[in-house]
């Protein structure tokens, strides 16, 4: 029995991948619209701070994993005193805080955009003087899909920008005029075996992933460089499970270069294509890794186009399901809202 913290679409797809392997899942999530409940063998509805509920959950499962990186440190601590938590909570500590994360990546010798810690209006104004405009102000913690971010443009008032991120501890980051954004989905098991899927090219709108295509339009060296960077990150974290590394690809003269943007210590939206387009999906790979199994083949089955269905995009589902060759995934969420991920579609072209 695999325990999963979080009841969203990522947990749902983990449960669906565990079933053919003969493994069951118990979802732990607070009250709300939890599409993973529809498919799981067991569920606990309780806040992440409920000590007693966490203890009961830990005793009911063989291993605990999570679908989101903002698991409270206390929750991870309570659970890991009773049951194995994979990926290990130290991966959460590193990736929950952008300052720690970026320093960790830079210390591995991998390139990241220049960044400076900011914790007051004075330090923000000093950092802007150093990195110039445009630059990007990001909260250290609890940022995702562009939340907690402000671009400092030539006309941006710094006091307003500081207020705009809630005056929270932050980093100021150099603005990268990138050619494209790519990511690598990787898996590492307890034996230290690492596999990396082919590099995904990602497009975003309003900071939300809209489309992933493969192969990415990058050189063979850049492709290998991204995979190597992911392997090094996985080894340095002594990581067990699936993770994603997001990169900016820039061009300087005729030369492509890679900068790491961030690490997601979990299965990732840019890896959804692997369900229909790879020999082993990222979700199965994650279940295998945390269950102490060997990893599966990451072979890609063709050219890939994955498109997220966001908000009202699922209204046209009847047309989508009759489109030949289109793999349709609907998450079964109770309510559609603008910007909410409601499903995705994948096309694999041989």
Residues of this chain that interact with ligand AMP (CB under 6 A) are 113, 136, 143, 146, 173-176, 181, 204, 207, 246, 261-262
In whole angstroms, the minimum distance from the beta carbon of 326 to ligand AMP comes to 26
Rounded to a whole number of angstroms, the minimum distance from the CB of residue 196 to ligand AMP is 20
Q: How far apart are CA 24 and CA 20, in angstroms?
A: 10
Q: How far is the CB of 98 from ligand AMP (least distance, A)?
A: 7
Give the nearer residue to ligand AMP in terms of CB position, either 24 or 340.
340
Nearer to ligand AMP, 28 or 115 (CB): 115
Q: Least distance (Å) from ligand AMP to the CB of residue 207? A: 5
- Residue 60 Cβ vs ligand AMP, minimum distance, rounded to whole Å: 34
| Measured distance CA(54)–CA(111) in Å, rounded | 39
Cα torsion at 215, 94, 75, 57 (round to 10°)? 40
Nearer to ligand AMP, 116 or 176 (CB): 176
Nearer to ligand AMP, 43 or 268 (CB): 268
- Closer Cβ to ligand AMP, 181 or 276, answer by number: 181
| 271 CB-near residues (< 8 Å, 6+ apart) | 183, 185, 197, 200, 242, 244, 282
């Amino acid at each position: 029995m695999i325990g999963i913290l979080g009841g969203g679409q990522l947990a749902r797809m983990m449960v669906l991948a565990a079933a053919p392997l003969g493994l069951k899942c118990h979802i732990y999530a607070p009250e709300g619209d939890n599409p993973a409940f529809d498919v799981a063998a067991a569920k606990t509805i309780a806040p992440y701070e409920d000590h007693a509920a966490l203890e009961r959950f830990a005793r009911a499962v063989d291993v605990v994993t999570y679908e989101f990186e903002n698991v409270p440190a206390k929750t991870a601590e309570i659970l890991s005193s009773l049951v194995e938590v994979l990926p290990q909570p130290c991966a959460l500590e590193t990736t929950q805080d952008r300052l720690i994360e970026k320093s960790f990546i830079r210390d591995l010798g991998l390139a990241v955009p220049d960044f400076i810690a900011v914790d007051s209006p004075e330090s923000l104004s000093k950092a802007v003087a150093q990195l110039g405009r445009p630059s990007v102000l990001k909260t250290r913690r609890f940022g995702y899909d562009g939340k907690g971010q402000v671009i400092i443009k030539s006309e941006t008032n710094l006091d307003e920008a500081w207020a705009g991120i809630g005056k929270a501890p932050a980093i100021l980051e150099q603005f990268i005029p990138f050619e494209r954004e790519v990511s690598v989905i990787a898996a590492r098991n307890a034996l230290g075996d690492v596999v990396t899927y082919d590099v995904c090219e990602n497009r975003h709108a309003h900071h939300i992933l809209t489309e992933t295509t493969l192969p990415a339009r990058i050189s063979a060296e850049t492709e290998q460089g991204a995979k190597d960077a992911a392997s090094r990150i996985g080894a340095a974290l002594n990581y067990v499970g699936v993770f994603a590394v997001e990169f900016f690809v820039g061009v300087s003269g005729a030369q492509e270069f890679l900068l790491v943007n961030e690490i997601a210590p979990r299965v990732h939206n840019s890896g959804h294509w692997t369900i229909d387009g790879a020999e082993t999906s990222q979700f199965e790979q994650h279940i295998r890794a945390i269950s102490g199994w060997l990893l599966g083949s990451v072979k890609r089955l063709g050219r890939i186009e994955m498109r997220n269905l966001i908000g009202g995009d699922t209204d046209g589902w009847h047309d989508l399901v009759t489109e030949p060759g289109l793999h349709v995934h609907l998450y079964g969420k109770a309510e559609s809202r603008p910007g909410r991920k409601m499903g995705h579609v994948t096309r694999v072209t041989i």
